[in-house]
Amino acid sequence: MKSVLAIIPARGGSKGLPNKNILPLLGHPLIAYSIKAAQQSTLINRIIVSTDSEIISKIALRYGAEVPFMRPNELAGDMSTDFEVFEHALYWFSKHEDYHPDLVVQLRPTSPVRTVKIIDDCIEKLDSSDADSIRIVTQCMATPYKMWRILDTNMPMTPLLTLGNVCEPYNQPRQKLPQIFWQIGFLDVIKPKTILEKRSMSGDIILPYIVSQDFAVDIDDLSSFEKAADVISKSKDYVHFE
């Protein structure tokens, strides 16, 4: 059986919306939705929370996750990266437990709209491939071929993208332009060597998993809590609590 480690990164110092990782969503702390998703997966067999917060740690333990270490303060700042957090966790496990997972799953607490089927599909898809990682994407609501760069409002603006031999793509019907996707953050599946050897959270070969725009809910203010609650309440397919 493959060893699949879920890492839920949850620092305590959110400034835009204080304590957002533990604010209630439909009666449960936000972080609990990521823990529940990992618990319901048929392929994830270890779940940890990487946090610098004692409060978050206690809540994570209460909902059934492990908190084997407290994240160092230098990895819990506004500018700390996912790579630093995941590299720290993998090195910690190697040093202290001689534990080396086959795959690593990132479940961000701030993106609670997800299904267990997608989690398991992505794990299986990456495990059976030579890719470095898999990311969730959805179709862009607006095409970047009609977007512009403005460096100075008194100077001409320039197109964000060009398109081969197509003249003035910003003047073309949307249907004639390439379909473009953007990544959403509720799930990443990564091979550990991508992090430890390539020193990247994605690597060079990134597989897509396409979902509908309904999944694109990122918690960053109170209104997004309301949106997440509305979306989750409409379908039993999403991870939620009975």
- On whether both 167 and 111 belong to a single domain, the answer is no
- On whether both 156 and 126 belong to a single domain, the answer is no
Q: Which domain range does residue 166 map to?
A: 144-176
CA angle 25-226-212, nearest 5°?
100
For residues 197-224, give the mean pLDDT.
Answer: 95
pLDDT at 117 over 80: yes
**pLDDT tens by residue, 164-189:** 889 999 999 999 999 999 999 999 99
- On whether both 59 and 99 belong to a single domain, the answer is yes
- On whether both 159 and 191 belong to a single domain, the answer is no
CA angle 216-180-214, nearest 5°?
20
- On whether both 47 and 115 belong to a single domain, the answer is yes
d(CA 42, CA 39): 8
- On whether both 17 and 90 belong to a single domain, the answer is yes
Residue 242 lies in a domain: no
- On whether both 45 and 82 belong to a single domain, the answer is yes
Residue 39 lies in a domain: yes
Q: What is the separation of C-alpha 10 from the centre of its chain, rounded to a whole number of angstroms? A: 12
CB 85 within 8 A of CB 75: yes
**% of the chain at pLDDT higher than 70:** 100
- On whether both 92 and 204 belong to a single domain, the answer is yes
d(CA 10, CA 107): 10
Residue 239 lies in a domain: no
- On whether both 76 and 155 belong to a single domain, the answer is no
Q: How confident is the model at residue 197 (pLDDT cuts 50, 70, 90)?
A: very high
CATH code of residue 73: 3.90.550.10
**pLDDT tens by residue, 22-76:** 999 999 999 999 999 999 999 999 999 999 999 999 999 999 999 999 999 999 9
CB 40 within 8 A of CB 24: no
Task: Tell me how many domains the chain contains.
Answer: 2
What secondary structure does DSSP assign to 91-138, as a single string?
HHHHHHH----SEEEE--TT-----HHHHHHHHHHHHTSS-SEEEEEE
- On whether both 156 and 46 belong to a single domain, the answer is no
